[in-house]
Amino acid sequence: MFRKTIFIILASIILLSPLQSKATSGSFFYGETCPHCHTVLKYFSENQIAERYNIILREVWADRNNASIFIKDMEAAGQSLGDNLSVPILILDGKVLSGDKPIISFFEQEHKLGNWPQISSDQTQPSSAQNIQVAKHTHTFWGFFPKLSLAALASAANPCAFAVLIILLISIMAAGNRRRILGAGFAFALAVFISYLAMGFGLYSTFATFESTKTITNIAGALALILGLFNLKDAIWYGKGGFKMEVPMAWRGRMRIVLAKITSIPGAFIVGLLISLFLLPCTSGPYIVILGLLSTEATVTCATQCLVAYNIIFVLPMIIVTLAIYFGLDLKKAEQIRTKNLRTLHFIIGLLLIAIAAWTFLG
């Protein structure tokens, strides 16, 4: 009986030893374009380190979810990163290793000591190993750019922005200085750019705190669809239903009073900051949609690039209109063109927003 018991114990140790070796687990955090990270990834691939140690590979520069996991894991290990996602970093059974050389040296030392876990024959190919999880990358800047540009064009095409700019330039023209129109138009566009960029960062940070990314994505898609349908409504039945997708009528009188007092370039910049609030109801819809998507699919770096690009596209028509007026386009004619094409502009905006909604829901 005693011999039988000893035999069972020894057999159990032998059989379970591979499982015990495989009990180690961790995450390797890397950046898509980080050369030091790729040095480690190459070493992992050549020596099947991820399979041996049950390591999950997580890209953090293009994947917001992985970035969030990175920060939480580092804090759990007693290290705070904030937004400084410095990589490569390996967290293995609570131990933190930073940098390509320390990480590779650790495994080289493990190998010399004979501590490398064995892997079975069906794990010879990393792509088929069940214990490897390479996180799917979410959008990089260029991957996100098509949606971003559609939304920015939808905002830029909104007749509200053109109306405000033309009223402002009429006031500047009344002061009798055509050259001042160029500076005032650029100052106004710069102010709107700065205001919307600041608001974008604030909303992105707020949305990014929500845990349920799928809910935010669905809300963003639904908002794009609703706004798109409302704009199509204005394209077909302009002003019907008791509202327009433009600056509320109650605000227009005050806005004209403010704009009529501006006769200088600094004044145009200041009014641009203030008028941004008036523009919000009719131009912020596509922006909020994109911010919602960015909060679920982009890191801080990617989101910053996207917000800058979005707002450049948004103010670009303001700059083009300013240049056209400076080089001879009559202000009254410009206003007539805007008024004549209101329905067409709403139709274009509606189609762009519905395209974004379809793109979002269809993944």
pLDDT tens per residue, range 26-37: 899 888 777 788
Q: Span 13-22, mean pLDDT?
A: 42
Closest residue by Cα to residue 311 from 152, 105, 97: 152
**DSSP string for residues in 93-138:** TTEEEESHHHHHHHHHHHHHTT-PPP--GGGSSGGG-TT--BPPP-
The pLDDT assigned to 177 comes to 67
Q: Span 186-194, mean pLDDT?
A: 92
What is the pLDDT of the chain when averaged over all its residues?
78
Closest residue by Cα to residue 52 from 95, 134, 110: 110
Q: Are 50 and 132 in contact (CB under 8 A)?
A: yes
The pLDDT assigned to 359 comes to 80
Tokens read off for 192 = 């709107």
Q: Does the reported pTM lie above 0.85?
A: no
The pLDDT assigned to 48 comes to 87
Q: What spatial distance separates the first Cα and last Cα of the chain, rounded to whole Å?
A: 64
332-362 tens-digit pLDDT: 787 788 788 888 888 988 898 898 888 877 7
Q: Span 136-148, mean pLDDT?
A: 70
SS3 330: coil
**Comparing 234 with 241, which gets the higher pLDDT?**
234
pLDDT at 245 over 90: no
**Comparing 250 with 352, which gets the higher pLDDT?**
352
The pLDDT assigned to 165 comes to 75
Phi, psi for 299 (deg, rounded to 5): -75, 175
The pLDDT assigned to 126 comes to 43
Q: Which helix (H) or strand (E) holds 283?
A: helix 265-297
Closest residue by Cα to residue 135 from 81, 68, 86, 72: 68
**Comparing 28 with 63, which gets the higher pLDDT?**
28
Tokens read off for 67 = 């970035």
Q: Which helix (H) or strand (E) holds 62?
A: none
Give the C-alpha separation, 283 to 154, whole Å.
8
Q: What is the CATH number of domain 17-128?
A: 3.40.30.10
- DSSP label at 140? -
279-299 tens-digit pLDDT: 776 777 788 888 888 877 777
**Comparing 322 with 85, which gets the higher pLDDT?**
322
**What are the domain boundaries of the chain?**
17-128, 141-361
Q: Are 184 and 264 in contact (CB under 8 A)?
A: yes
113-135 tens-digit pLDDT: 888 887 655 544 443 333 334 44
Taking 3-state DSSP, the helix, strand and coil percentages for the chain, each rounded to the nearest 5, stand at 70, 5, 25
**Comparing 68 with 96, which gets the higher pLDDT?**
96
SS3 19: helix
**Comparing 120 with 265, which gets the higher pLDDT?**
265
What string of H, E and C letters represents the secondary structure of 67-97? HHHHHHHHHHCCCCCCCCCCCCEEEECCEEE
The pLDDT assigned to 257 comes to 76
89-111 tens-digit pLDDT: 999 888 899 888 999 999 999 88
Q: Span 172-194, mean pLDDT?
A: 82
The pLDDT assigned to 89 comes to 92
SS3 139: coil
